[in-house]
């Protein structure tokens, strides 16, 4: 007992006790504890609200970055987004660019990034992959809502679908809706669907039906046309996509795509006439001449000549080559003559091919067919534009 009293006297005289006693005596005795807790709670709420306000201000700039990249069809992510990377992707680099012209945004962005590195808790920075994906989803939702409102207000709708292989060799089905908007025909791209695993008519029909069902039952009366290429899977009158869809949408009559029909007419006609087939083989030689050598391509580009690489199934690319030869005939001739007249700067293959192309340009038959097909493609382009802009109801006449 004596030891306890002795220890108590020593503690009373200690600095820690005297400091605590001082704090207790100077404590505001006029304010109750519950009031103080309530005030602390209000201060915490105010701090939280201020943090939310700052996050919202940051989000405005972040949304603008996402909208810009989406509109320009640029990738968001980078291969290396670490702090030591010289290129952290378009999204991160664009935010850093914005911060150079907005000191407030710069302080908030870098403060958040620093807090996120120090803390194990989740801190809103606006640069995480999850936030980027959420922004993209939000943009997609807004666009979908706008398209849905336009579809609800229109009278007639048609659907277009076609398959294509992307750079990763996946078979993608592109789906487009066409409808009238106050007398004007507009097109709205809806989505890509991966059909690599199943390209049957039933599988493609299920994808299209699921998509159309998302726009409500009103499409049963509004869908008056479906347009595909002539492939049996799409256009087959027994088990094709157009037949399966017409079971649910009885007014959705099938029309063979005008561009595909024209492509078939031109390609079949060209392949049936030996002179024309040889002509297009010679035309492809101009594209191969630039496609196999960057030096040759640079030589022609310096003259303002850009010859695209042809496609075996799309006449649009062939028309671009012919237009280049037709419109740049004399310049192309001079460019090829420069190669043959100064052979010491070029390899033997380039000289030989340039000399052969010059012979084509000096041939009456080649020049005659260039003029003929330039006129044909000019008319075919006008025809396709007419088919794309005429009212939907004309297809039912």
pLDDT tens string 96-119? 898 888 888 888 888 877 777 776
For position 251, which CATH number holds?
A: 3.30.420
Instruction: Mark which of 256, 279, 313 sits at the end of a domain.
Output: 256
Query: Do 224 and 209 share a structural domain?
Result: yes
Instruction: Mark which of 256, 280, 313 sits at the end of a domain.
Output: 256
Query: Do 94 and 62 share a structural domain?
Result: yes
**Counted domains in the chain:** 3
Asked, for residue 355, whether it belongs to a domain, the answer is: yes
Asked, for residue 127, whether it belongs to a domain, the answer is: yes
Q: How many CA atoms are closer than 13 Å to the CA of 394, on its beta-carbon side?
A: 9
Sequential pLDDT tens for the chain (397 residues): 556 666 666 666 677 777 776 666 655 555 555 555 676 677 777 777 787 788 888 888 899 999 999 889 888 888 887 778 888 889 988 988 988 888 888 888 888 777 777 766 677 778 888 888 998 999 888 888 888 888 888 888 888 888 877 777 788 888 888 888 877 888 888 888 888 888 888 888 888 888 888 887 778 888 888 888 777 788 787 788 888 888 888 888 888 777 677 777 777 777 778 888 888 888 888 888 877 778 888 888 888 888 877 655 455 567 788 888 888 889 989 988 988 888 888 888 888 988 999 999 999 999 999 998 888 877 776 655 555 555 444 443 4
Contacting residues for 141 by C-beta, under 8 A, at least 6 apart: none
Domain containing 91 equals: 33-133
Residue 77 vs residues 83, 166, 170, 283, 297: alpha-carbon distances, Å = 14, 20, 21, 41, 32
Query: Do 384 and 268 share a structural domain?
Result: yes
Asked, for residue 270, whether it belongs to a domain, the answer is: yes
Asked, for residue 11, whether it belongs to a domain, the answer is: no
Question: Which structure tokens are listed for 340?
Answer: 């043959």
Residue 180 vs residues 47, 84, 149, 251: alpha-carbon distances, Å = 52, 52, 13, 16
- Work out the angle at residue 141's Cα, subtended by the Cα atoms of residues 135 and 144, and round it to the nearest 5 degrees: 145
pTM over 0.75: no
- CA-CA-CA-CA torsion for 67, 68, 71, 77, nearest 10 degrees? -90
Query: Do 128 and 76 share a structural domain?
Result: yes
Query: Do 376 and 279 share a structural domain?
Result: yes
Q: What is the pLDDT of residues 186-201, one digit of tens each?
A: 888 888 888 888 888 8
Asked, for residue 218, whether it belongs to a domain, the answer is: yes
What mean pLDDT value characterizes the chain? 80
Query: Do 181 and 116 share a structural domain?
Result: no
Query: Do 377 and 274 share a structural domain?
Result: yes
Asked, for residue 28, whether it belongs to a domain, the answer is: no
Q: How many CA atoms are closer than 13 Å to the CA of 395, on its beta-carbon side?
A: 26
Instruction: Mark which of 133, 162, 185 sits at the end of a domain.
Output: 133
Query: Do 213 and 288 share a structural domain?
Result: no
Question: Which structure tokens are listed for 3?
Answer: 């030891």
Asked, for residue 17, whether it belongs to a domain, the answer is: no
Asked, for residue 3, whether it belongs to a domain, the answer is: no
Query: Do 194 and 272 share a structural domain?
Result: no
């Amino acid at each position: 007992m004596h030891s306890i009293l002795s220890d108590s006297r020593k503690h009373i005289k200690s600095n820690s006790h005297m400091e605590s006693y001082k704090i207790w005596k100077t404590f505001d005795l006029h304010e109750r504890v519950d009031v103080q807790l309530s005030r602390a709670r209000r201060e915490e709420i105010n701090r939280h609200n201020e943090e939310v306000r700052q996050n919202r201000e940051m989000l405005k700039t972040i949304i603008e970055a996402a909208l810009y990249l989406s509109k320009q069809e640029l990738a968001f992510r980078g291969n290396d987004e670490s702090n030591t990377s010289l290129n952290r992707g378009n999204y991160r680099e664009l935010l850093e660019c914005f911060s150079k012209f907005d000191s407030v945004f710069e302080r908030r962005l870098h403060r958040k990034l620093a807090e996120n590195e120090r803390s194990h808790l989740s801190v809103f920075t606006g640069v995480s992959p999850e936030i980027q994906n959420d922004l993209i989803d939000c943009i997609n939702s807004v666009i979908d809502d706008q398209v849905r409102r336009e579809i609800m207000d229109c009278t007639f709708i048609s659907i277009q679908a076609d398959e294509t292989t992307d750079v990763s060799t996946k078979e993608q089905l592109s789906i487009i809706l066409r409808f009238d908007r106050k007398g004007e025909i507009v097109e709205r791209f809806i989505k890509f669907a991966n059909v690599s695993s199943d390209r049957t008519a039933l599988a493609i029909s299920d994808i299209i039906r699921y998509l159309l069902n998302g726009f409500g039952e009103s499409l049963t009366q509004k869908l008056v046309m479906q347009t595909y290429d002539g492939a049996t899977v799409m256009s087959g009158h027994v088990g094709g996509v157009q037949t399966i869809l017409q079971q649910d949408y009885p007014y959705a009559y099938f029309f063979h795509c005008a561009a595909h029909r024209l492509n078939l007419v031109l390609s079949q006609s060209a392949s049936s006439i030996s002179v024309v087939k040889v002509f297009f083989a010679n035309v492809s030689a101009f594209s191969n001449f630039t496609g196999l050598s960057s030096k040759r391509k640079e030589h022609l580009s310096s003259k303002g000549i850009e010859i695209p690489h042809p496609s075996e199934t799309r006449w649009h690319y062939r028309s671009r080559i012919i237009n280049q030869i037709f419109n740049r005939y004399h310049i192309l001739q001079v460019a090829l003559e420069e190669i043959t007249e100064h052979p010491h700067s070029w390899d033997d293959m380039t000289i030989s091919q340039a000399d052969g192309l010059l012979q084509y340009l000096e041939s009456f038959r080649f020049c005659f067919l260039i003029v003929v097909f330039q006129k044909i493609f000019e008319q075919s382009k006008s025809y396709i534009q007419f088919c794309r802009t005429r009212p939907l109801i004309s297809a039912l006449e």
